[in-house]
Structure 1
């Protein structure tokens, strides 16, 4: 059985990024992102209405981390500690050695290869430190950028679910992608 341990918190460093632990100091930047309808169009979670919503999300992230049930990194540029996005694993299936990956990047920083750096570091951590066997991603079929990122990182489509969940009064489709460890 998988036994992840996120204590001490693993800071990941790439060529241009630092993936670090969230703090309450990130709440304003997190609120700015998660209150933006364009940014959140493919993230089926409630839009943040107040900064308290962002603080509550940080508390949830910390709770999952404390229970070793999930890990979310705050993505920052090396030369600036400001939150520009997030990436992490949750829905960790300890018996199956599988976790779901999710990510979000401020549109100002998109198209620069930054999420490629972040996902490469996270995948490496997932397989080599967490000892995952597979990483899954659940994606809206309309989220072409996310699908492109997954395919670039050798994820393969496992499923396409038609109208499998209700969100904001509409039934939405979901695509499932997966990446297996290279043994």
Structure 2
């Protein structure tokens, strides 16, 4: 599958490819990447690197990284993964690498383009999103786009040796 660059007023959303993934890994310390990716060991981080660099399409991951055009640097990611083409659904994921980029409406801006891309280009009928129960900012962001809370997934993620709940949200194509 080929992706084009999507330009927004302040961002460029572009395909994640091995070169971009390698750039991210050279710009950020492994401990920051481990926290961001939700992995708790060097071995798991190495496995994530392997997924993207050596076989990103075989792991059912379709991500789109974005960068701020003014700085020409990658500041985070957003896109779809766990894409079930037979069922026309995928999970939306997103994140910013540094605190300084938050609270500026950048993710709202990115999702204004990514969500329609999922419905119109990928042919999705359903977009799902999972968030931690304590991640109020993410919950507000999803609500802004009309996502509906569908349920609580108990002890869904292992974080720092402790299982945490997730909230499942979904948006159905109208």
Coarse TM-score class (shorter-chain normalised)? 0.7 to 0.9
| Whole-angstrom distance in 1 between the partners of 2:32 and 2:59 | 29
How big is the shift at 1:168?
3.5
The correspondence of residues 6-155 of structure 1 with structure 2, limited to 5 A, is 6-7=1-2, 9-22=3-16, 23=20, 24-29=22-27, 31-32=28-29, 35-36=31-32, 40=35, 45-47=38-40, 53=45, 57=48, 59-61=50-52, 63-64=55-56, 66-67=57-58, 69-105=60-96, 106-155=98-147
Any idea what SS the aligned residue of 1:36 has?
A: helix
CA contact (8 A) 1:36 1:47 kept: no
Distance 1:157 1:99, change over 3 A: same
How big is the shift at 1:140?
0.6
Count of matched residue pairs: 168
CA contact (8 A) 1:91 1:99 kept: yes
How big is the shift at 1:26?
2.8
Cα RMSD for the two superposed structures:
2.7
Please state which structure has a larger fraction of its residues in helix. 2
Distance 1:76 1:59, change over 3 A: farther
Per-residue CA deviations over 1:115-171 (Å, capped at 9, x if unaligned) read: 001111110110010010010011110011111100111100011123345443322
Unaligned runs of at least 5 residues, structure 1: 1-5
In the superposition, the TM-score normalised over structure 1's length comes to 0.79
CA contact (8 A) 1:61 1:72 kept: no
Any idea what SS the aligned residue of 2:117 has?
A: helix
How big is the shift at 1:68?
8.9
| Whole-angstrom distance in 1 between the partners of 2:113 and 2:41 | 28
In the superposition, the TM-score normalised over structure 2's length comes to 0.82
**Runs ≥4 in structure 1, deviation > 6 angstroms?**
none
How big is the shift at 1:181?
1.0
Any idea what SS the aligned residue of 2:107 has?
A: helix
Higher relative contact order (CA 8 A, sep 6+): 1
Please state which structure has a larger fraction of its residues in strand. 2
